[in-house]
């Protein structure tokens, strides 16, 4: 009996996806719920798993423009594991038996090792890389959360295996390989002028489209300010151990800015509003809630999961949600619903070392707050006017749509956040 594998719908309005590549060869035996491939839409990356156990028959290769609901493979449930293993595969034809004297790869060594214990958790990207490189993730010690094997762990195993192969193949009696390489290398340093192209993923294409759309349709302007982080850093240092012990999560800076932003959004509701319609039909849609989108960087691009009703969340609730988003974003586990519908965005470029930037709007939102790196700078001491002191300072940037938000509102919004951060006890009364 053949069970078809179809492309599931990643979300409303999405009709096409792309297939990043199969993790199993055509004809290979697969277990039920085993990861077979990853599919990418313009909003999210989803996993494609086996609906039943049996032999895999691939009918669609890697590529773009695969319709939602299309059949991309089938599972022949009448074929057992032994029969599938004995059948020749059209995919990876490398032998599992190494010649005498050859170094044993990680995959072969792991296959020869006795079974036992639970298999380590592996991220979707790590599984894909491991399949391409021929590495068994069971032999890799994961460095991710809860021992999860990440992409970098797989690359580390590949590099270690390559080094072992090179060392075993090197002749004794001096660095012969180095002499040969030096003789063959062209003079005057590295003359390599290679050029390569790779197709943009659908997610990256959508990011590019939305960014250009934002710049072409909104009257975008950015205003700047700076805030003294002394009091927030003091509170964080004094209470971080007790906070983590009680809630099981670290106390970061983002929760302070989320709470400050929700307070500012209540005072300046246009910053939390949308422009709906065009021309004479344009309207302003106000929101009584604050759904804060938090920018998270991943290998495939920037995603912005949304903290629903952030105004009602505690500091622990904000920190827990952001950590969960970050972990699942790296593994491609975020859903489309979790990344749509925000009313305001916060982007923390400071984690990458950015000192100042002008963030771009996330349509249809009307504003975005940019946080930056904390640097000690000489400023006037607020407790001793006329005296200079070194203070941990952060530049803040608010990009906004000038069609709906006036300059005075934008400046007032940013000053409100500055005041809340510099005197965080005000958040108790926000």
The span from the CA of 302 to the CA of 296, in Å, is 6
What's the CA gap between 376 and 234, in Å, rounded?
Answer: 15
Of the candidates 24, 71, 32, which has an alpha carbon nearest to the alpha carbon of residue 51? 32
Q: Which long-range contacts (CB under 8 A, 24 or more apart) does 87-96 make?
A: 87/27, 87/55, 88/27, 89/25, 89/26, 89/27, 89/28, 90/25, 90/26, 90/27, 91/24, 91/25, 91/26, 91/27, 91/28, 92/25, 92/134, 94/134
Q: Whole-angstrom Cα distance, residue 405 to residue 366?
A: 8
Alpha-carbon distances, residue 72 vs 50, 83, 317, 333 (angstroms):
12, 23, 41, 21
Residue spans of beta strands (DSSP E) within 35-189: 35-40, 45-49, 54-58, 63-67, 71-76
Q: Is 406 a catalytic residue?
A: yes
- Tokens 């951060």 belong to residue: 421
CA distance 397 to 77: 58
Which residue of the set 4, 216, 402, 419 is catalytic? Answer: 402
Pairing relationship of beta strands 367-380 and 344-348 according to DSSP bridges: parallel
Distance (Å, whole) CA 415 – CA 28: 61
Catalytic residue among 176, 406, 416, 419: 406
419 catalytic, yes or no?
no
Write out the catalytic residue numbers.
402, 406
């Amino acid at each position: 009996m053949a069970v078809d594998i179809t492309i599931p719908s990643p979300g409303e309005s999405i009709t096409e996806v792309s297939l990043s590549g199969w993790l199993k060869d055509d004809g290979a035996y697969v277990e039920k719920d085993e990861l077979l491939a990853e599919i990418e839409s313009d909003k999210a990356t989803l996993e494609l798993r086996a609906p039943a156990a049996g032999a895999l028959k691939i009918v669609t290769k890697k590529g773009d423009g695969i319709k939602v609901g299309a059949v991309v493979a089938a599972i022949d449930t009448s074929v057992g594991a032994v029969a599938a293993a004995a059948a020749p595969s059209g995919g990876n034809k490398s032998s599992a038996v190494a010649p005498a004297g050859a170094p044993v790869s990680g995959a072969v060594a792991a296959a020869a090792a006795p079974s036992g214990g639970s298999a380590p958790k592996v991220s979707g990207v790590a599984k894909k890389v491991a399949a391409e490189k021929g590495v068994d993730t069971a032999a890799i010690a994961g460095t991710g959360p809860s021992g999860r094997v990440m992409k970098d762990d797989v690359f580390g195993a590949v590099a270690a295996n390559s080094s072992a192969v090179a060392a075993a193949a090197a002749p004794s009696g001096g660095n012969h390989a180095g002499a040969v390489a030096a003789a063959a290398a062209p003079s005057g340093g590295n003359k390599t002028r290679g050029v390569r192209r790779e197709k943009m993923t659908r997610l990256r294409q959508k990011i590019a489209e939305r960014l250009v759309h934002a710049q072409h349709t909104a009257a975008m302007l950015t205003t700047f300010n700076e805030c003294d982080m002394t009091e927030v850093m003091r509170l964080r240092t004094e209470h971080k151990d007790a906070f983590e012990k009680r809630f099981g999560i670290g106390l970061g800076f983002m929760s302070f800015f989320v709470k400050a932003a929700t307070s500012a959004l209540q005072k300046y509701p246009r910053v939390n509003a949308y422009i709906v319609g065009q021309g004479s039909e344009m309207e302003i849609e106000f929101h009584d809630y604050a759904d804060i989108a938090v920018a998270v960087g991943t290998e495939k691009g920037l995603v912005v999961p949304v903290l629903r009703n952030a105004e009602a969340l505690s500091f622990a609730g904000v920190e827990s949600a952001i950590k969960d988003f970050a972990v699942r974003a790296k593994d491609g586990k975020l859903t489309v619903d979790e990344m749509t519908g925000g009313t305001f965005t916060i982007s923390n470029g400071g984690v990458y070392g950015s000192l100042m930037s002008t963030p771009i709007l996330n349509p249809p939102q009307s504003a975005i707050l940019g946080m930056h790196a904390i640097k000690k700078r000489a400023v006037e001491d607020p407790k001793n006017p006329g005296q200079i002191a070194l203070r941990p300072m952060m530049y803040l940037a608010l990009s906004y749509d000038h069609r709906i938000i006036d300059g005075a509102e934008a400046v007032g919004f940013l000053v409100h956040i500055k005041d809340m951060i510099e005197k965080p006890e005000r958040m108790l009364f926000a």
